[in-house]
Structure 1
Amino acid sequence: MTVDLIGPVWRTLPWRALGAAGALGLLVAGTPLATGAEPAPWQTLLLLRGVALIGALGLAFLLDDPARHLTVPVPTRRPVRQALRLALVAPLAALWWTAVLLLTPSASRPPVGATTLEAVAVAALAFASAALAVRLTDETRPGPFVAASLLLIAVLAPLLAPEGWALFVQADDPRWPVAHDRWAVLAVAVAVVGAVCGPEPLGRRTGR
Protein backbone atom coordinates (compact mmCIF):
# COMPACT_ATOMS: atom_id res chain seq x y z
CA MET A 1 0.00 0.00 0.00
CA THR A 2 2.78 2.44 0.93
CA VAL A 3 4.66 1.64 -2.29
CA ASP A 4 1.52 2.47 -4.26
CA LEU A 5 1.49 5.91 -2.65
CA ILE A 6 4.96 6.91 -3.83
CA GLY A 7 3.82 8.17 -7.23
CA PRO A 8 0.82 10.19 -6.03
CA VAL A 9 2.75 11.66 -3.08
CA TRP A 10 5.69 12.55 -5.32
CA ARG A 11 3.38 14.47 -7.65
CA THR A 12 1.79 16.43 -4.80
CA LEU A 13 5.04 17.55 -3.19
CA PRO A 14 5.49 21.35 -3.17
CA TRP A 15 8.22 21.32 -5.79
CA ARG A 16 7.93 25.03 -6.52
CA ALA A 17 8.71 26.04 -2.93
CA LEU A 18 11.36 23.36 -2.52
CA GLY A 19 13.01 24.25 -5.81
CA ALA A 20 12.99 27.97 -5.08
CA ALA A 21 14.55 27.46 -1.66
CA GLY A 22 17.12 25.07 -3.07
CA ALA A 23 18.12 27.38 -5.91
CA LEU A 24 18.35 30.42 -3.64
CA GLY A 25 20.42 28.48 -1.12
CA LEU A 26 22.90 27.37 -3.77
CA LEU A 27 23.09 30.90 -5.13
CA VAL A 28 23.88 32.32 -1.69
CA ALA A 29 26.38 29.57 -0.90
CA GLY A 30 28.18 30.09 -4.19
CA THR A 31 28.44 33.87 -3.90
CA PRO A 32 32.00 33.91 -2.45
CA LEU A 33 33.19 31.52 -5.16
CA ALA A 34 31.52 33.54 -7.90
CA THR A 35 32.91 36.85 -6.67
CA GLY A 36 36.36 35.59 -5.71
CA ALA A 37 35.85 36.70 -2.13
CA GLU A 38 37.77 35.14 0.75
CA PRO A 39 35.43 35.33 3.74
CA ALA A 40 36.62 34.94 7.29
CA PRO A 41 35.62 31.76 9.14
CA TRP A 42 32.88 33.56 11.06
CA GLN A 43 31.46 34.89 7.80
CA THR A 44 31.39 31.44 6.22
CA LEU A 45 29.67 30.03 9.30
CA LEU A 46 27.09 32.80 9.15
CA LEU A 47 26.63 32.10 5.45
CA LEU A 48 26.02 28.40 6.07
CA ARG A 49 23.57 29.13 8.86
CA GLY A 50 21.69 31.44 6.53
CA VAL A 51 21.61 28.83 3.78
CA ALA A 52 20.37 26.21 6.26
CA LEU A 53 17.54 28.57 7.16
CA ILE A 54 16.69 29.05 3.49
CA GLY A 55 16.46 25.29 3.06
CA ALA A 56 14.28 25.00 6.14
CA LEU A 57 11.93 27.64 4.75
CA GLY A 58 11.41 25.39 1.74
CA LEU A 59 10.71 22.42 4.01
CA ALA A 60 8.10 24.48 5.83
CA PHE A 61 5.87 23.82 2.81
CA LEU A 62 6.50 20.06 2.78
CA LEU A 63 3.14 19.10 4.29
CA ASP A 64 1.07 21.43 2.12
CA ASP A 65 -1.55 19.20 0.52
CA PRO A 66 -4.56 20.60 -1.37
CA ALA A 67 -6.20 17.16 -1.16
CA ARG A 68 -5.66 16.85 2.58
CA HIS A 69 -9.33 16.61 3.53
CA LEU A 70 -9.94 14.01 0.84
CA THR A 71 -7.21 11.73 2.20
CA VAL A 72 -8.40 11.66 5.83
CA PRO A 73 -10.62 8.56 5.29
CA VAL A 74 -8.00 6.54 3.36
CA PRO A 75 -6.57 3.40 5.03
CA THR A 76 -2.99 4.74 5.08
CA ARG A 77 -2.59 6.81 8.22
CA ARG A 78 -1.41 10.40 8.09
CA PRO A 79 1.92 9.70 9.88
CA VAL A 80 2.79 7.24 7.13
CA ARG A 81 1.91 9.75 4.41
CA GLN A 82 3.93 12.46 6.13
CA ALA A 83 6.89 10.13 6.66
CA LEU A 84 6.75 9.20 2.98
CA ARG A 85 6.90 12.87 2.00
CA LEU A 86 9.93 13.32 4.23
CA ALA A 87 11.60 10.16 2.93
CA LEU A 88 11.19 11.28 -0.68
CA VAL A 89 12.72 14.69 -0.03
CA ALA A 90 15.48 13.70 2.42
CA PRO A 91 17.95 12.28 -0.16
CA LEU A 92 17.56 15.37 -2.32
CA ALA A 93 18.07 17.59 0.72
CA ALA A 94 21.23 15.67 1.63
CA LEU A 95 22.62 16.12 -1.90
CA TRP A 96 21.71 19.80 -1.80
CA TRP A 97 23.48 20.35 1.52
CA THR A 98 26.55 18.52 0.23
CA ALA A 99 26.63 20.87 -2.75
CA VAL A 100 26.24 23.85 -0.41
CA LEU A 101 29.24 22.73 1.65
CA LEU A 102 31.36 22.17 -1.46
CA LEU A 103 30.53 25.65 -2.74
CA THR A 104 31.80 27.35 0.41
CA PRO A 105 35.51 28.24 0.60
CA SER A 106 37.41 25.32 2.09
CA ALA A 107 39.93 27.60 3.81
CA SER A 108 37.27 29.15 6.03
CA ARG A 109 34.73 26.32 6.14
CA PRO A 110 33.67 25.48 9.73
CA PRO A 111 33.58 21.86 10.97
CA VAL A 112 31.26 20.05 8.58
CA GLY A 113 29.72 17.65 11.09
CA ALA A 114 28.75 20.32 13.59
CA THR A 115 27.41 22.66 10.92
CA THR A 116 25.40 19.83 9.39
CA LEU A 117 23.93 19.08 12.81
CA GLU A 118 22.71 22.68 13.02
CA ALA A 119 21.15 22.37 9.56
CA VAL A 120 19.43 19.11 10.52
CA ALA A 121 18.03 20.69 13.69
CA VAL A 122 16.64 23.66 11.77
CA ALA A 123 15.15 21.37 9.12
CA ALA A 124 13.58 19.22 11.84
CA LEU A 125 12.12 22.35 13.41
CA ALA A 126 10.56 23.30 10.07
CA PHE A 127 9.03 19.85 9.64
CA ALA A 128 7.77 19.71 13.24
CA SER A 129 6.24 23.16 12.89
CA ALA A 130 4.47 22.09 9.71
CA ALA A 131 3.21 18.91 11.41
CA LEU A 132 1.96 20.96 14.35
CA ALA A 133 0.15 23.36 12.02
CA VAL A 134 -1.49 20.45 10.20
CA ARG A 135 -2.60 18.89 13.47
CA LEU A 136 -4.01 22.06 15.02
CA THR A 137 -5.65 23.60 11.97
CA ASP A 138 -7.67 22.60 8.93
CA GLU A 139 -5.42 24.51 6.54
CA THR A 140 -4.47 22.61 3.42
CA ARG A 141 -1.51 24.92 2.79
CA PRO A 142 -0.01 25.94 6.16
CA GLY A 143 3.40 26.50 4.56
CA PRO A 144 3.35 30.32 4.38
CA PHE A 145 2.38 30.62 8.05
CA VAL A 146 4.99 28.05 9.08
CA ALA A 147 7.69 29.79 7.04
CA ALA A 148 6.82 33.16 8.57
CA SER A 149 6.94 31.64 12.05
CA LEU A 150 10.30 30.07 11.29
CA LEU A 151 11.69 33.40 10.13
CA LEU A 152 10.45 35.04 13.32
CA ILE A 153 12.11 32.34 15.42
CA ALA A 154 15.35 32.79 13.48
CA VAL A 155 15.34 36.51 14.24
CA LEU A 156 14.36 36.24 17.90
CA ALA A 157 16.30 33.14 18.97
CA PRO A 158 19.78 34.73 18.94
CA LEU A 159 18.38 37.75 20.80
CA LEU A 160 16.29 35.97 23.42
CA ALA A 161 18.17 32.72 24.01
CA PRO A 162 19.82 32.65 27.45
CA GLU A 163 23.53 33.41 27.32
CA GLY A 164 24.28 30.10 28.97
CA TRP A 165 22.77 28.14 26.09
CA ALA A 166 25.46 29.39 23.69
CA LEU A 167 23.83 27.95 20.58
CA PHE A 168 25.18 30.48 18.10
CA VAL A 169 28.89 30.41 18.90
CA GLN A 170 31.84 30.53 16.53
CA ALA A 171 33.93 27.47 15.70
CA ASP A 172 36.91 28.75 17.70
CA ASP A 173 34.79 29.36 20.80
CA PRO A 174 35.55 26.91 23.66
CA ARG A 175 31.79 26.41 24.02
CA TRP A 176 31.48 25.01 20.47
CA PRO A 177 31.30 21.30 21.53
CA VAL A 178 28.79 21.99 24.31
CA ALA A 179 26.71 24.13 21.97
CA HIS A 180 26.40 21.25 19.55
CA ASP A 181 25.38 18.88 22.30
CA ARG A 182 22.46 21.27 22.73
CA TRP A 183 21.85 21.35 18.97
CA ALA A 184 21.62 17.54 19.05
CA VAL A 185 19.11 17.66 21.91
CA LEU A 186 17.11 20.28 20.03
CA ALA A 187 17.07 18.15 16.87
CA VAL A 188 15.80 15.11 18.77
CA ALA A 189 13.21 17.14 20.68
CA VAL A 190 11.65 18.74 17.62
CA ALA A 191 11.72 15.40 15.79
CA VAL A 192 9.71 13.90 18.64
CA VAL A 193 7.25 16.80 18.43
CA GLY A 194 6.88 16.18 14.71
CA ALA A 195 6.19 12.49 15.30
CA VAL A 196 3.67 13.19 18.06
CA CYS A 197 1.81 15.64 15.82
CA GLY A 198 1.49 13.08 13.04
CA PRO A 199 -1.74 11.23 13.91
CA GLU A 200 -5.05 12.76 12.93
CA PRO A 201 -6.95 14.01 16.03
CA LEU A 202 -9.61 11.50 17.03
CA GLY A 203 -12.53 13.89 16.62
CA ARG A 204 -11.42 14.93 13.16
CA ARG A 205 -10.67 11.34 12.18
CA THR A 206 -14.15 10.15 13.09
CA GLY A 207 -15.79 13.15 11.48
CA ARG A 208 -17.07 14.72 14.69
Structure 2
Amino acid sequence: MRGLTASRGSLTVDLVGPLWRTLPWRALAAAGALGLLVAATPAATGAEPAPWQTLLLLRGAALTGALGLAFLLDDPARHLTAPVPTPRLVRQALRVALVAPLAALWWTAVLLLAPSASRPPAGGVTLEAVTVAAFALTAAALAVRLTDEARPGPFVAAALLLTAVLAPLLAPEGWALFVQAEDPRWSAGHERWAVLAAAVCLVGAACGPEPLGRGRGRRPPLIRPDGP
Protein backbone atom coordinates (compact mmCIF):
# COMPACT_ATOMS: atom_id res chain seq x y z
CA MET A 1 0.00 0.00 0.00
CA ARG A 2 2.81 2.42 0.87
CA GLY A 3 4.55 1.60 -2.40
CA LEU A 4 1.36 2.32 -4.34
CA THR A 5 0.88 5.63 -2.55
CA ALA A 6 4.49 6.62 -3.20
CA SER A 7 4.12 5.65 -6.86
CA ARG A 8 1.02 7.81 -7.24
CA GLY A 9 2.77 10.70 -5.50
CA SER A 10 5.71 10.37 -7.87
CA LEU A 11 3.37 10.38 -10.87
CA THR A 12 1.67 13.51 -9.54
CA VAL A 13 4.99 15.32 -9.14
CA ASP A 14 6.03 14.25 -12.63
CA LEU A 15 2.87 15.87 -14.00
CA VAL A 16 3.80 19.34 -12.74
CA GLY A 17 6.16 20.14 -15.62
CA PRO A 18 3.85 19.01 -18.45
CA LEU A 19 0.85 20.73 -16.87
CA TRP A 20 2.82 23.96 -16.45
CA ARG A 21 3.65 23.95 -20.16
CA THR A 22 0.05 23.33 -21.21
CA LEU A 23 -1.57 26.03 -19.08
CA PRO A 24 -3.42 28.69 -21.13
CA TRP A 25 -0.86 31.40 -20.46
CA ARG A 26 -2.08 33.73 -23.21
CA ALA A 27 -5.62 33.85 -21.86
CA LEU A 28 -4.40 34.20 -18.28
CA ALA A 29 -1.93 36.96 -19.19
CA ALA A 30 -4.48 38.87 -21.26
CA ALA A 31 -7.10 38.74 -18.51
CA GLY A 32 -4.53 39.68 -15.87
CA ALA A 33 -3.23 42.65 -17.84
CA LEU A 34 -6.75 43.91 -18.54
CA GLY A 35 -7.69 43.58 -14.88
CA LEU A 36 -4.65 45.61 -13.83
CA LEU A 37 -5.53 48.28 -16.39
CA VAL A 38 -9.07 48.48 -15.02
CA ALA A 39 -7.82 48.90 -11.45
CA ALA A 40 -5.19 51.46 -12.51
CA THR A 41 -7.62 53.66 -14.48
CA PRO A 42 -8.05 56.29 -11.71
CA ALA A 43 -4.28 56.56 -11.14
CA ALA A 44 -3.63 56.82 -14.88
CA THR A 45 -6.23 59.53 -15.40
CA GLY A 46 -5.70 61.41 -12.15
CA ALA A 47 -9.34 60.92 -11.18
CA GLU A 48 -10.56 60.65 -7.60
CA PRO A 49 -13.42 58.14 -7.79
CA ALA A 50 -16.16 57.83 -5.23
CA PRO A 51 -16.20 54.68 -3.07
CA TRP A 52 -18.93 53.10 -5.16
CA GLN A 53 -16.90 53.71 -8.32
CA THR A 54 -13.78 52.11 -6.85
CA LEU A 55 -15.81 49.11 -5.73
CA LEU A 56 -17.23 48.82 -9.24
CA LEU A 57 -13.70 48.90 -10.70
CA LEU A 58 -12.51 46.19 -8.32
CA ARG A 59 -15.50 44.02 -9.11
CA GLY A 60 -14.81 44.52 -12.80
CA ALA A 61 -11.16 43.55 -12.32
CA ALA A 62 -12.22 40.42 -10.39
CA LEU A 63 -14.57 39.44 -13.20
CA THR A 64 -11.83 40.00 -15.76
CA GLY A 65 -9.47 37.74 -13.86
CA ALA A 66 -12.17 35.08 -13.58
CA LEU A 67 -12.64 35.19 -17.36
CA GLY A 68 -9.01 34.15 -17.70
CA LEU A 69 -9.53 31.30 -15.23
CA ALA A 70 -12.44 30.05 -17.34
CA PHE A 71 -9.77 28.73 -19.75
CA LEU A 72 -7.65 27.04 -17.05
CA LEU A 73 -9.02 23.53 -17.61
CA ASP A 74 -8.69 23.66 -21.39
CA ASP A 75 -6.56 20.71 -22.43
CA PRO A 76 -5.90 20.09 -26.13
CA ALA A 77 -4.53 16.65 -25.22
CA ARG A 78 -7.51 15.76 -23.04
CA HIS A 79 -8.42 12.60 -24.94
CA LEU A 80 -4.83 11.40 -24.81
CA THR A 81 -4.37 11.99 -21.07
CA ALA A 82 -7.67 10.37 -20.02
CA PRO A 83 -6.13 6.88 -19.57
CA VAL A 84 -3.21 8.04 -17.36
CA PRO A 85 -3.10 6.65 -13.79
CA THR A 86 -3.43 10.08 -12.14
CA PRO A 87 -7.15 10.89 -11.68
CA ARG A 88 -8.58 13.85 -13.53
CA LEU A 89 -9.53 15.56 -10.26
CA VAL A 90 -5.87 15.54 -9.23
CA ARG A 91 -4.77 16.92 -12.59
CA GLN A 92 -7.32 19.72 -12.34
CA ALA A 93 -6.32 20.48 -8.75
CA LEU A 94 -2.68 20.71 -9.86
CA ARG A 95 -3.62 23.25 -12.51
CA VAL A 96 -5.37 25.36 -9.91
CA ALA A 97 -2.48 25.00 -7.44
CA LEU A 98 0.05 26.12 -10.05
CA VAL A 99 -1.90 29.28 -10.84
CA ALA A 100 -3.15 30.14 -7.33
CA PRO A 101 0.05 31.90 -6.10
CA LEU A 102 0.22 34.00 -9.26
CA ALA A 103 -3.48 34.85 -8.92
CA ALA A 104 -2.94 35.92 -5.30
CA LEU A 105 -0.05 38.21 -6.30
CA TRP A 106 -2.14 39.63 -9.14
CA TRP A 107 -5.08 40.40 -6.86
CA THR A 108 -2.75 42.05 -4.34
CA ALA A 109 -1.49 44.31 -7.14
CA VAL A 110 -5.08 45.10 -8.13
CA LEU A 111 -5.91 46.19 -4.57
CA LEU A 112 -2.76 48.32 -4.35
CA LEU A 113 -3.55 50.04 -7.66
CA ALA A 114 -7.02 51.02 -6.47
CA PRO A 115 -7.22 54.48 -4.82
CA SER A 116 -6.65 53.98 -1.10
CA ALA A 117 -8.96 56.86 -0.14
CA SER A 118 -12.01 55.16 -1.63
CA ARG A 119 -10.96 51.51 -1.47
CA PRO A 120 -13.60 49.21 0.09
CA PRO A 121 -12.69 46.74 2.85
CA ALA A 122 -10.13 44.41 1.34
CA GLY A 123 -11.51 41.30 3.02
CA GLY A 124 -15.01 41.67 1.64
CA VAL A 125 -14.05 42.49 -1.93
CA THR A 126 -11.43 39.71 -1.90
CA LEU A 127 -14.11 37.23 -0.85
CA GLU A 128 -16.19 38.37 -3.82
CA ALA A 129 -13.22 37.88 -6.14
CA VAL A 130 -12.54 34.38 -4.76
CA THR A 131 -16.19 33.42 -5.23
CA VAL A 132 -16.27 34.62 -8.83
CA ALA A 133 -13.01 32.78 -9.56
CA ALA A 134 -14.40 29.61 -7.98
CA PHE A 135 -17.54 29.96 -10.07
CA ALA A 136 -15.46 30.20 -13.26
CA LEU A 137 -13.43 27.11 -12.34
CA THR A 138 -16.53 25.14 -11.36
CA ALA A 139 -18.25 26.04 -14.62
CA ALA A 140 -15.15 24.85 -16.49
CA ALA A 141 -15.07 21.59 -14.50
CA LEU A 142 -18.77 21.06 -15.21
CA ALA A 143 -18.20 21.61 -18.93
CA VAL A 144 -15.34 19.11 -18.92
CA ARG A 145 -17.45 16.54 -17.09
CA LEU A 146 -20.57 16.86 -19.23
CA THR A 147 -18.98 17.23 -22.65
CA ASP A 148 -16.08 15.85 -24.67
CA GLU A 149 -14.91 19.35 -25.58
CA ALA A 150 -11.17 19.74 -25.13
CA ARG A 151 -11.35 23.55 -24.99
CA PRO A 152 -14.59 24.66 -23.31
CA GLY A 153 -13.04 27.95 -22.18
CA PRO A 154 -14.81 30.26 -24.67
CA PHE A 155 -18.23 28.85 -23.79
CA VAL A 156 -17.49 29.03 -20.06
CA ALA A 157 -16.32 32.65 -20.37
CA ALA A 158 -19.50 33.58 -22.28
CA ALA A 159 -21.64 31.90 -19.60
CA LEU A 160 -19.72 33.75 -16.88
CA LEU A 161 -20.31 37.09 -18.57
CA LEU A 162 -24.01 36.35 -18.93
CA THR A 163 -24.22 35.35 -15.27
CA ALA A 164 -22.41 38.54 -14.22
CA VAL A 165 -25.00 40.61 -16.09
CA LEU A 166 -28.02 38.71 -14.77
CA ALA A 167 -26.91 38.09 -11.17
CA PRO A 168 -27.44 41.67 -9.88
CA LEU A 169 -30.88 41.70 -11.51
CA LEU A 170 -32.04 38.26 -10.32
CA ALA A 171 -30.41 38.06 -6.86
CA PRO A 172 -32.99 38.26 -4.05
CA GLU A 173 -33.12 41.69 -2.47
CA GLY A 174 -32.58 40.35 1.02
CA TRP A 175 -29.31 38.64 0.10
CA ALA A 176 -27.49 41.98 -0.22
CA LEU A 177 -24.74 40.53 -2.41
CA PHE A 178 -24.00 43.67 -4.40
CA VAL A 179 -24.31 46.42 -1.82
CA GLN A 180 -21.86 49.26 -1.21
CA ALA A 181 -19.30 49.20 1.59
CA GLU A 182 -21.20 51.92 3.51
CA ASP A 183 -24.37 49.84 3.49
CA PRO A 184 -25.11 48.29 6.93
CA ARG A 185 -25.89 45.02 5.12
CA TRP A 186 -22.27 44.70 3.91
CA SER A 187 -21.24 42.20 6.61
CA ALA A 188 -24.39 40.09 6.33
CA GLY A 189 -24.10 40.07 2.55
CA HIS A 190 -20.55 38.78 2.70
CA GLU A 191 -21.55 35.98 5.01
CA ARG A 192 -23.72 34.85 2.13
CA TRP A 193 -20.77 35.32 -0.24
CA ALA A 194 -18.78 32.92 1.97
CA VAL A 195 -21.57 30.32 1.91
CA LEU A 196 -21.86 30.71 -1.86
CA ALA A 197 -18.09 30.26 -2.28
CA ALA A 198 -18.12 27.06 -0.21
CA ALA A 199 -21.07 25.66 -2.16
CA VAL A 200 -19.46 26.46 -5.50
CA CYS A 201 -16.19 24.79 -4.44
CA LEU A 202 -18.05 21.64 -3.37
CA VAL A 203 -19.82 21.46 -6.73
CA GLY A 204 -16.50 21.97 -8.51
CA ALA A 205 -14.87 19.15 -6.56
CA ALA A 206 -17.81 16.86 -7.36
CA CYS A 207 -17.38 17.60 -11.07
CA GLY A 208 -13.72 16.57 -11.04
CA PRO A 209 -13.86 12.75 -11.19
CA GLU A 210 -14.36 11.07 -14.52
CA PRO A 211 -17.94 9.69 -14.84
CA LEU A 212 -17.97 5.94 -14.31
CA GLY A 213 -19.96 5.28 -17.44
CA ARG A 214 -17.86 7.39 -19.73
CA GLY A 215 -16.37 5.37 -22.51
CA ARG A 216 -18.50 2.30 -21.89
CA GLY A 217 -20.52 1.03 -24.76
CA ARG A 218 -18.13 2.46 -27.34
CA ARG A 219 -16.83 -0.11 -29.72
CA PRO A 220 -13.45 0.30 -31.37
CA PRO A 221 -13.59 0.75 -35.14
CA LEU A 222 -13.38 -2.42 -37.14
CA ILE A 223 -10.14 -2.91 -39.04
CA ARG A 224 -10.84 -4.50 -42.38
CA PRO A 225 -8.06 -6.24 -44.26
CA ASP A 226 -7.03 -4.67 -47.51
CA GLY A 227 -8.28 -6.41 -50.54
CA PRO A 228 -11.25 -6.65 -52.88
Matched, 1:123 2:133: yes
Alignment partner, residue 64 of structure 2: 54
Unaligned runs of 5+ in 2: 1-10, 219-228
Deviation per CA, 1:55-105, whole angstroms, max 9, x where unpaired? Answer: 000000000000001011000000000000000000000000000000000
Matched, 1:172 2:182: yes
Deviation per CA, 1:28-59, whole angstroms, max 9, x where unpaired? Answer: 11110111110000000010000000000000
Deviation per CA, 1:16-36, whole angstroms, max 9, x where unpaired? Answer: 100000000011111101111
Taking CA–CA contacts closer than 8 Å with sequence separation of 6 or more, which of the two structures ends up with the larger relative contact order? 1
Unaligned runs of 5+ in 1: none
- Identity, in percent, stands at 83
Matched, 1:95 2:105: yes
1:165, distance to aligned residue in structure 2 (A): 1.1
Structure 1 letter corresponding to 2:44: A
Structure number with larger C-alpha Rg: 2
Which residue among 31, 37, 44 is the counterpart of 1:27? 37
Which runs of structure 2 are paired with 1:190-205 in the superposition (5 Å)?
A: 190-204=200-214
1:207, distance to aligned residue in structure 2 (A): 6.9
Structure 2 letter corresponding to 1:48: L
TM-score normalised to structure 2 length: 0.90
Matched, 1:163 2:173: yes
| 8 A Cα contact 1:72 1:205, kept in partner | no
1:166, distance to aligned residue in structure 2 (A): 1.1
Matched, 1:64 2:74: yes
Alignment partner, residue 52 of structure 2: 42
Question: Separation in 2 of the partners of 1:25 and 1:184?
Answer: 23
TM-score normalised to structure 1 length: 0.98
Question: Separation in 1 of the partners of 2:217 and 2:93?
Answer: 23
Corresponding pairs, count = 208
Large movers: runs of 4+ above 3 Å? 205-208
| 8 A Cα contact 1:73 1:205, kept in partner | no
Structure 2 letter corresponding to 1:19: A
Alignment partner, residue 74 of structure 1: 84
